[in-house]
Amino acid sequence: MNYTILIQEGPYNHTASDSAYNFIQAALEKGHEIRGIFFYNDGVLNSTKLMDPPQDDRHIQKRWTELGEKGIDIVICIAAAKRRGIAEENLAPGMRISGLGQLIEMGITSDRMVTFGS
């Protein structure tokens, strides 16, 4: 099966990012394909390379970067990013900024779209 993942919550104030990451890992282990990951609303906060969690905490942005290095398309909504101060210069490696049209294209070419957060 081919999935698109939509994440709408920030990295540390909700469990949506962790749940999405765990879902993606499980899907990949089962042989499914992740068509793309789209960050929207507060979800765009997952994309900043300025994130600096304490040493004993998980580094959520690095998790997303590692998935991007595996070839998964990770897209950040431009409008949501601009509202939250996310720009190309502080975007983590393996991620790119685009519009909602990209989310539509991902959804059309996937079997399922799974949303994390509201």
Average pLDDT rounded to a whole number, residues 42-46: 95
Average pLDDT rounded to a whole number, residues 38-64: 88
Question: What is 2-116's CATH number?
Answer: 3.40.1260.10
Average pLDDT, rounded, for the chain: 93
Q: How far is CA 29 from CA 23, 42, 48, 77, 86, in A?
A: 10, 28, 27, 27, 31
Tokens 């499914």 -> residue? 32
Average pLDDT rounded to a whole number, residues 42-58: 86
Per the residue annotation, which of 27, 77, 95, 106 is the catalytic one?
Answer: 77
Average pLDDT rounded to a whole number, residues 28-56: 92
CB atoms within 10 A of CB 23: 15
Active-site residue, 35 included: no
HEC per residue, 17-58: HHHHHHHHHHHHHCCCEEEEEEECHHHHHHHECCCCCCCCCC
For residue 56, what pLDDT is reported? Answer: 72
CB 71 within 8 A of CB 35: no
Report pLDDT digits (tens) over 63-98.
999 999 999 999 999 999 999 999 999 999 999 999
For residue 90, what pLDDT is reported? Answer: 92
When pLDDT is cut at 50, 70 and 90, the band that residue 55 belongs to is confident
0.85 exceeded by the pTM?
A: yes
Share of the chain above pLDDT 70, in %: 100
Amino acid in position 88: E
